[in-house]
Chain A
Amino acid sequence: MKSFPIKILLLLVIGGVMLSACSGGLTANSWPGVTAGKDLVYLSDQGFVFGVKVSDGSMAWRYPADKAAAKPFYAAPALTDSELIVGDYGNTLYALDPATGNQKWTYDKGKSLWVGSPQIVGNVVLAPSADANLYAFDLKGQLLWSFKTQQMIWAQPVSDGTLVYQASMDHKLYALKLSDGSLVWSTELGGSAISNPALDEKGVLYVGTLASEMLAIDGKTGRILWRHTSPGTIWSSPLVVGNTLYYGDFAGKASALSTKDGSPQWTIDLAGPVTASAMFFKDGLIYVMETGDIQALTMDGKKSWSHTINGKLYSTPAVVGDRLVVPVTQGDSLLVALDANGNEVWSFIMPK
């Protein structure tokens, strides 16, 4: 029995070590992001930013090159001819050379994760941070201005060249001047917006929220033009083609609404929940689902081909020429490319 106290002590030590292995704060992990270039697609996933050749899915470059220096990259990068801008979950924003992956500059004064993708408007880099700020930089990484909201920002900003529209998790959509970040208007959405609004040529914004609503908002005044209740929560940006808006929701529905008044055009059942945006591909629509299913639809909602991938599909795919490139979570591959008929052309797996 003399050893009993020692046994208790050992148990406490083992228990303490096991509990502390649960990590000090919140574990940073999420679903990947992909951006289409001309010859390369750029993938943020598994601790790296990859430049992957569209032609055959081979890796052109990886940042950081050293596997031991991996950083938590998940947000889809923003791309111009000379800059690839991407943030990580370690609070640092990077500018890379799109052709080589070489680092150009960094910004490490952000106070939280870079969950949302940046946006490049002319010579201005707009980067939304989970520290509730939208930051604006020049192409050399000099901070121009910042605008603070009330909560995390996960949505990519959109711009018409004069105004910047930023949705925040604080249930609001903000319109700011691109030149100096000053507030023009803000509108209460009634729920958190995970993804960026879509902006049409008439200057109307369309945004989905976790309150299961799709809203249309006048870009000049912030006035809500109409709102439509969805069967499930909306995690992605809507796709606007002509006078119709297309989106999927977490109840597993694909819906089309009229942009004029939000009246439903059609709704169909999909195989699983949707968090990614619908894509326009080969005169039709593509929806990807958490179940690993990819469903092609005609523009009037009829199902055409479908394909199932091993893994979960949370991220919006990229269209590059006649290839649909799909990022995969928890699957055998990181990226899968399909042709116009849904056949797999190549897959990109984690390099050794």
Chain B
Amino acid sequence: MWDTIIISPFTNVLLFIYTQVAQNFGIAIILFTCLIRLITHPLMVQQIKGAKAMQDLQKDKRYIEMQKKYKGDKEKFAQEQMKLYQELHISPFASCLPMLIQFPIMIGLYQSVILALASTPIQLLNLTRHVYPSLLKIADVIPLNSHFLWMDLGAPDIINLPFLSFVIPIPILAIVVVITTYLQSKMMTPASSGNPGDQSAMIGNMMNIYMPFFMGYIAYTLASGLALYFVASNLIGIGQYALLGQLNWRNIIPGKKTVQKSKA
């Protein structure tokens, strides 16, 4: 089922794009990422709305009073919180949904990249079974050109400094993944509500720290084709937020924090 719904379509779209861009697999991954981002754009808009609703809730008098009233009773607070969510039509998961959707896409894309970059006969056999004959001719696609810039997209990205007599492996793409993930997280973090009990802000801050390293670790250990997807996805995500007017440039300046002004 996973193969039919995710792997085969992803692989065929990826290979089709590959045949249209002078058989450059790196460009194909980047364009495929653009396509995925375009399709999931409505989810991003929903995420922004959800995050804003959660932000506004932090300033709501009823919410602030509820926090004071049920300070010692977490269970009661949680019940009242849910009631308030329902009353205001807020979903606490709306801001997480795009991220959750991204995981199967990420896994599907990784498996498709690995499938396409078949390096043994049995892997090639598996690839030919996933190709739609009505869309692609095997003879035109195989073998895939896995080289893009300095990278072999089927292997982890490590570059050795040629001018040194000893080897220092440098995971350039993994470093770029860490930086772009951090930038995306910071610039897309909404302004703080100023409410010290704002849990979504607390979670967001934690994610801004751990997520870049988590993604960097994945990029370091897995095939560089996936790392390329991460970089492209992060940069396109920043672009999408900028177009929607939601980027907080000040968040990346050290010492400057944006704080929402409370309504009088």
Contacts and interface: CB of A to CB of B under 8 A. Distances in A.
Contacts of B118: 26
A183 interface: no
A25 B118 CA distance: 11
Interface stretch (B82-90, B199-207, B232-240): B199-207
Interface in B111-165: 114, 117-125, 128, 137-139, 142-143, 154-156
B119 A26 contact: yes
Given A1-B74, A89-B120, A151 B143 contact: yes
A31 B121 contact: yes
B259 interface: no
A250 B127 CA distance: 13
Contacts of A28: 119-120
Nearest to A189: B139
Interface stretch (B29-37, B175-183, B217-225): B217-225
Interface in B190-226: 199, 202-203, 206-207, 210-211, 214, 217-218, 221-223
Contact of B120 (A8, A29, A329): A29
A20 B221 contact: yes
A329 B120 CA distance: 14
Interface in A80-116: 89, 112-113, 115
B229 interface: no
A191 B110 CA distance: 27
The interface size bin for chain B is: 35 or more
Contacts of A25: 154-156, 223
Contact of B122 (A24, A191, A210, A314): A314
B120 A210 contact: no
A250 B124 CA distance: 13
A8 B203 contact: yes
Contact of A113 (B120, B155, B210): B120
Interface residues of A, number: 46
Contacts of A113: 119-120
Nearest to B107: A19
Contacts, number: 105
A133 to B, nearest CB: 15
B120 A74 contact: yes
Of B125, B156, B207, most A-chain CB atoms within 10 Å = B125
B131 to A, nearest CB: 11
Nearest to B218: A19
Interface centre among B143, B155, B207, B218 (most CB of A within 10 A): B143
Given A12-B211, A210-B139, A30 B206 contact: no
A129 interface: no
B138 A24 contact: no
Contacts of B221: 19-20, 24
Interface in A230-250: 233, 235, 250
Given A4-B199, A12-B211, A130-B119, A169 B143 contact: yes
Given A24-B156, A113-B119, A233-B138, 20 more contacts: A4-B203, A5-B202, A5-B203, A9-B206, A20-B217, A22-B222, A26-B223, A28-B119, A30-B120, A154-B121, A169-B143, A171-B139, A191-B138, A194-B121, A211-B137, A211-B139, A233-B128, A275-B125, A314-B125, A329-B122
Interface of A: 1, 4-5, 8-9, 12-13, 15-16, 19-20, 22-26, 28-31, 74, 89, 112-113, 115, 130, 151-152, 154, 169-171, 190-192, 194, 209-212, 233, 235, 250, 275, 314, 329
14 contacts: A15-B214, A16-B214, A19-B218, A19-B222, A23-B222, A24-B221, A26-B117, A30-B120, A30-B123, A115-B121, A154-B121, A169-B142, A211-B137, A314-B121
